[in-house]
Amino acid sequence: MTTAADAYASDVAFSPAVKAIQARKGSREAYARSEQHGWRTEVDDNLAAFLADANSFYFATASADGQPYIQHRGGPKGFLKVLDKQTLAFTDYAGNQQFITQGNLSENPKAYIFVMDYAHRRRVKIWGEARVVEDDEALTTSLMPKGYRARPEQVILFKIAAWDTNCPQHIPQKFDAADVAAALAARDARIAELEAEVAALKGEKASDQAK
């Protein structure tokens, strides 16, 4: 039996059933060693920078009887904000009015955030508990991205229990359309600049030959 003194942050995911399968399939020893270092439980500089650059993530909840639900959340880069070393928050925009996530959180606070960076083939997994905050205009205003065309409905606060990263294996590399457009615009501008330089050099050469 695991006591509080023996508990690890990774126990949020490595339940006794998970550990039993790890033991049966040969990975338990390696993960037992990694538990000594532990998964992180607070936001560090690397996670803060990663979240500040994220414009999309997946938010998982479950009903009281364990029925899972995953919902996509998107917005301008940095819309998932760090309030302190253990608290994340984001504005929940008005949507299709199904309220599955909010209903789940009303009876089961356990939640999970999965952030994928396809361009750099990185991913972060964050376990914790979440709650919905309604009718707090000051908090909603402080979290709402400036100039973003969406109607804020409420705020979701997420308390971190543990977080970890994954290797890039099997992550397809994809790029945001806006980043591709910016790269192409920069390329086209450079091409135009070089073409202008070539034309100028040709003009100088023609002028010299005419003398």
Mean pLDDT of 35-50: 91
And the tokens for 50?
């990663």
The answer to whether residues 113 and 59 touch, using CB atoms and an 8 Å cutoff, is yes
The answer to whether residues 164 and 9 touch, using CB atoms and an 8 Å cutoff, is no
Residue 204 has pLDDT above 80, yes or no: no
pLDDT value at residue 6: 63
Q: What φ, ψ does residue 138 adopt, rounded to 5°?
A: -65, -45
56-62 β-sheet, strand order:
68-74, 56-62, 110-117, 122-133, 152-165, 87-93, 81-84
Q: In 63-207, which ranges are E strands?
A: 68-74, 81-84, 87-93, 110-117, 122-133, 152-165
8-20, pLDDT tens digit by residue?
A: 999 999 999 999 9
Q: How confident is the model at residue 143 (pLDDT cuts 50, 70, 90)?
A: very high
Residues in the chain: 211
pLDDT value at residue 35: 85
Q: If you average pLDDT over every residue of the chain, what do you get?
A: 91
Share of the chain above pLDDT 90, in %: 73
Q: Kindly report the CA angle at 207 between 202 and 208, in degrees rounded to 5?
A: 100
Share of the chain above pLDDT 70, in %: 96
The answer to whether residues 12 and 127 touch, using CB atoms and an 8 Å cutoff, is yes
Task: Report the C-alpha gap between 126 and 143 in whole angstroms.
Answer: 20
Mean pLDDT of 86-112: 95
Q: How confident is the model at residue 151 (pLDDT cuts 50, 70, 90)?
A: very high
Domain ranges of the chain: 1-37, 40-165, 175-211
Q: 40-165: which CATH topology? A: Pnp Oxidase; Chain A (2.30.110)
Q: How confident is the model at residue 2 (pLDDT cuts 50, 70, 90)?
A: very low
